[in-house]
């Protein structure tokens, strides 16, 4: 997937999968996000393909979520679109482009984190979090 320069990455199905999980078992959403990222970045799987995401959810015991993304109902589609709209609104608000984009929030204040600073030094991101809380 990462080596295919012709295929544009579309996170729509991954967002649908995460929304289905959030609806069924919100406590597992972060686990599923990690599994999707591992599948894409470490295993080279095509996480834009429905079959890949169904298999991933099934392997994690989230069969109900897999069934839901195979045939999404109107509510799941609406919840997914609401998440996409919220993310796009945040991107616009902070003039952010691309991924990863991280927005921190504390005591009603929100700020954009410089993720690039953390690639070689994760403590740089932690310092940004601490600075934003001050």
Whether the pLDDT of residue 21 is over 90: the answer is yes
- C-alpha to C-alpha distance for 61 and 111, rounded to whole angstroms: 36
Structural domain of 128: 94-134
pLDDT in tens, 41-62: 999 999 999 999 999 999 999 9
Residues 65, 15 within the same domain = yes
Residues 87, 102 within the same domain = no
CATH number (domain holding residue 71): 1.10.472.60
What is the model's pLDDT at position 97? 84
Tell the burial category of 69 from Cβ atoms under 10 Å away from its Cβ (0-12, 13-18, 19+). Answer: buried
pTM of the full predicted structure?
0.81
pLDDT in tens, 29-38: 999 999 999 9
Q: Rg of the chain over CA atoms, in angstroms?
A: 16
Query: Which residue in 72, 68, 110, 73 sits closest to 93, CA to CA?
Result: 110
Query: Which residue in 54, 71, 64, 62 sits closest to 14, CA to CA?
Result: 54
Confidence band of 6 (pLDDT split at 50, 70, 90): low
- C-alpha to C-alpha distance for 30 and 17, rounded to whole angstroms: 12
How many folded domains does the chain comprise?
2
Residues 18, 83 within the same domain = yes
């Amino acid at each position: 997937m990462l080596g295919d320069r012709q295929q544009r990455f579309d996170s729509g199905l991954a967002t649908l999968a995460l929304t289905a999980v959030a609806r069924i078992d919100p406590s597992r959403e972060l686990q599923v996000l990690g599994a999707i990222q591992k599948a894409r970045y470490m295993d080279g799987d095509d996480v834009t393909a429905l079959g890949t995401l169904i298999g991933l959810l099934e392997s994690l015991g989230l069969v109900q979520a897999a069934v839901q993304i195979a045939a999404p109902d109107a509510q799941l589609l609406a919840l997914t679109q609401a998440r996409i709209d919220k993310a796009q609104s945040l991107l616009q608000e902070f003039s952010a482009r691309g991924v990863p984009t991280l927005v921190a929030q504390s005591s009603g204040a929100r700020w954009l984190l410089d993720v690039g600073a953390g690639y070689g030094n994760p403590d740089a991101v932690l310092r940004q979090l601490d600075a934003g809380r001050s």
